[in-house]
A and B are shown apart, each in its own frame.
Chain A
């Protein structure tokens, strides 16, 4: 608290106001991107499925800026926000979403596998917990190359019940790997409620089983996420190993496009909307309604431009269908 008082001009004691405004904008951009994506889906402009993170934007907004260039990201299937926070280009993202040749993955991966290896963004993930063992390899690689990079590994509450979670956390722990395990506990693994799937009160309680630091934070509080990830990164860079952070949040939309949401009540969703990460962060940094409207309008315009860019982008040539399977 004392420290925060000394930094009165910083948001939450850690974020410069300009930076905070950028983060707010990116959160709004993420939400606008996803709302537009849902709309395009219902209009039949997109085929396949997608997983939106509406309601969970606070975690990406706090985590991304807490890390530095050169760090690695292992994302989840619900990762549009993280992709943007990692510096993702909206046009190329939208192109990937529409399956276009100039998308990040040449239209071969789509929303669920979007990656940008050049910026050490090692991709979204279609297999729950599939990225957890991979992060062990990335961590080992960092250690062997003797760099001070860290890995941000994202996953949901559902992933914490996969066997891969156990193998990965244990290996990272015994080898002191520089991995930040950031669990986005959005209360449901598809329809399976957190209370039904766990006996522990918090997922971070499991950290103790691996002998590593674990903590639970409010994932809808950007500053709390920022601080926790920054602290974990510091620990990792010092060679003090992995951290398990559980960020509590909530997804407003269904798991994917096919979800009829029979497992929860409208009232519950409404309750969580009171804790909306965007509204809270806007209030924290003193953005008034009018300015908010302007920001939202700007985001709408930027998304509309990205949609136009993507719609006018070329489809992959059928003759290239077999490309990219082998090096």
Chain B
């Protein structure tokens, strides 16, 4: 089986989309000769030239605006925000313009663009380069929010996002860039708005996003040795959320732990919890819905503190154990 890293999978998706459709282009800071801050666009400048691999000044609002304006006039831009944290500098263009344009214009504009956002902690980059801000965008009607956790999903979801007729916020995780997995060579898409049951299990449901998916898988292997068989669901798309597999899983297991890296308060876990509470799965719960998420704090610089600011494998194991044993 052909293996690629998450980063290579993303690059292959961009390359194949650009080969297939000349309306697709990539725009962002240091994506040309430099190859992107994390190397995702390495080599693309040589193949496509500076007209389609567009290096920009440090102007995030400009990048986002370029995506909105090009999209509404028939192009299919992919914007790269160097660190997802910097999206704060482009919020107006994304939230007030790109997301709302179609609606404000009576459904008569189409705004198909993708914003790629490398996020997450674990690299020692401290508080302004390590955030997980995905849930801000979940709160904005008009946007779709995607968060792949594997190389296979990264390629399939990015290709789907590029084909999508609406703005897509595409959150990548910096620690996943080097992770490897099976990625078919041909072009394929994973539908936006489709959850993935990563691992089936009978005892307890874990809903995890992004980096927390591989961490949950690692935890699952350890927990199996203790006789606890968890089911892992990766929503993959946060908006629109495919909630049915989550609801069905909770009906089956009666227990659910939601795991994400973003801070707990106001995080996506609250939304998943609410979806479960409002559904028929509520009657099947035999323990409170639990969330394991980032501490309510900025990401610290110190390695040990940084490590403890977000859920790790052992935290997932401990929390599953507690929930399974009826401690809540």
Residues of A in contact with B (beta carbons under 8 Å apart): 72, 103-109, 113, 115, 117-118, 120, 122-123, 126-127, 130, 132-145, 163-164, 167-168, 170-171, 174, 323-327
Contact = CB atoms under 8 A, between A and B. Distances in A.
Given A133-B93, A141-B73, A326-B142, A108 B104 contact: yes
Interface string B92-114: 11001100011111111111100
Contacts of B106: 103-109, 324
Nearest to A138: B69
B65 interface: yes
A117 B105 contact: yes
Contact of B65 (A105, A137, A327): A137
Given A130-B97, A327-B110, A105 B105 contact: yes
B133 interface: no
B64 interface: yes
A134 B65 contact: yes
Contact of B166 (A118, A323, A326): A326
A134 B97 contact: yes
Interface residues of B, number: 44
B75 interface: yes
Nearest to A124: B104
Contacts, number: 150
B59 A170 contact: yes
A164 B70 contact: no
Contacts of B69: 122, 133-141
A163 B65 CA distance: 13
B56 interface: yes
Interface of B is mostly: mixed
A36 B67 CA distance: 38
Given A135-B69, A327-B165, A170 B57 contact: yes
A170 B1 CA distance: 48
Top 6 nearest A-B pairs (CB, nearest first) are A133-B65, A137-B69, A324-B107, A327-B165, A106-B106, A105-B106
A141 B74 contact: yes
A321 to B, nearest CB: 11
Query: Counting chain A CB atoms within 10 Å of each CB, which of B54, B57, B61 scores highest?
Result: B61
B103 to A, nearest CB: 5
Contact of B68 (A109, A137, A325): A137
Nearest to B110: A327
A136 B25 CA distance: 14
Contacts of B97: 127, 130, 133-134
**Which residue among A113, A120, A145, A325 has the maximum number of chain B CB atoms within 10 Å of its CB?**
A325
B326 interface: no
Name A's interface SS: helix
Contacts of B57: 167, 170-171, 174
Nearest to B25: A144
A164 B142 CA distance: 22
Contacts of B102: 324-327
Interface in B65-88: 65-75, 77
Given A136-B65, A137-B73, A167-B57, 15 more contacts: A105-B104, A105-B105, A106-B107, A108-B105, A109-B104, A120-B73, A123-B109, A126-B96, A133-B68, A135-B65, A136-B62, A137-B72, A137-B75, A137-B77, A167-B61
Which among B64, B97, B106, B111 has the highest number of chain A CB atoms within 10 Å?
Answer: B106
Given A127-B96, A130-B97, A113 B73 contact: no
B141 interface: yes
B46 interface: no
Contact of B109 (A115, A130, A167, A171): A115
Contacts of A113: 104-105
Given A135-B69, A142-B73, A164-B65, A117 B92 contact: no
Contacts of A126: 96
A189 B240 CA distance: 39
B73 A323 contact: no
Contacts of B61: 133, 163-164, 167
Interface in B35-50: none
Contacts of A127: 92, 96-97
A118 B108 CA distance: 8
B51 interface: yes
Contact of B66 (A123, A130, A171): A171
Nearest to A109: B104
B109 A117 contact: yes
A105 B109 CA distance: 10
Given A123-B101, A141-B75, A134 B93 contact: yes
Nearest to A139: B69
